[in-house]
Amino acid sequence: MGFKTFVILKISQSVPRAQVMQVTGHQTEASFRGYLDVVQQQLVETFRKTAWKVTKKGGTPVPRAA
């Protein structure tokens, strides 16, 4: 399992940040937050692509994120 995948899974499973930080070796909240910002950007992009596919197949339109 990749490093980013591990972090995404653990955060989405509501594992406390402090525990994830300990496992990943992040020593400061600032360095961990910076990493999560990258992960969040990837999740938003994935959501946009998925939402477009659902809408194109006749699903309920999804509002565009800012």
- The 10s digit of each residue's pLDDT in 27-56 is 888 888 777 777 677 777 877 777 766 555
Which residues touch 64 (CB under 8 Å, ≥6 apart)? Answer: 48
Task: List C-alpha distances in Å: 56 to 46, 49, 50, 52, 59.
Answer: 15, 11, 10, 6, 7
Q: For the whole prediction, is pTM greater than 0.85?
A: no
Q: What is the pLDDT of residue 22?
A: 92
User: CA 7 to CA 64: how far, in whole Å?
Assistant: 26
Residue 61's pLDDT is: 57
Distance, CA of 41 to CA of 64 (rounded, Å) = 14
